[in-house]
Amino acid sequence: MADILIISHSSQIAEGTKALVEQMAKDVTIHASGGVDGGIGTNIDQISEMLDSIEDDTLCFYDIGSSLMNLEMAVEMYEGPHAVHISNAPIVEGSFLAGVESSVGSTVEDILKKLNEMKK
């Protein structure tokens, strides 16, 4: 089962998306990072900490601008044993699809194929 990482400029978007996916995919581990010091932004240190805590191959979703840049930098620095995939699918729809598919036993490769069919 794949872990899911959600990166947003807004803590409410990150946590709300996480809550949505958790309701439909209870056994999937979902990490969320959003906002900086109570405001809008993303934080590479938060993303790196989440990557260090993943327990399986991971599918990552982001919203806009620097969230992708910080996510890519964190993934480049990640030295853990698990594969980390960044999806270009929409953050809510993509993470939802990934969570549900992972919860029913789909492979990461199959999930990535379905995500690639989505347009941002």
Residue 65: predicted pLDDT: 86
Work out the burial of residue 100: count CB atoms within 10 Å of its CB; fewer than 13 is exposed, 13-18 middle, 19 or more buried.
Answer: middle
Q: Among 9, 31, 82, 85, which one carries the catalytic annotation?
A: 9
Question: Residue 23 maps to which CATH number?
Answer: 3.40.50.510
Q: Cα-flanking dihedrals φ and ψ of residue 112, to 5°?
A: -60, -40
Which range of residues forms the domain containing residue 29?
3-116
Asked if 42 and 14 count as a contact pair (C-beta separation under 8 A), the reply is no
For residue 78, give the amino acid letter: Y
What's the pTM?
0.94
Residue 30: predicted pLDDT: 97
For residue 39, give the amino acid letter: G
**82 labelled catalytic:** no
User: What is the four-CA torsion angle of 58, 105, 95, 82, rounded to 10 degrees?
Assistant: 0
- pLDDT for 39-64, tens place per residue? 999 999 999 999 999 999 999 999 99
Give the E-state strand segments of the chain in sequence order: 3-8, 30-34, 58-62, 84-86
- pLDDT for 20-38, tens place per residue? 999 999 999 999 999 998 8
Cα–Cα dist 62/2, whole Å: 17
Instruction: Count up the domains in the chain and report the number.
Output: 1
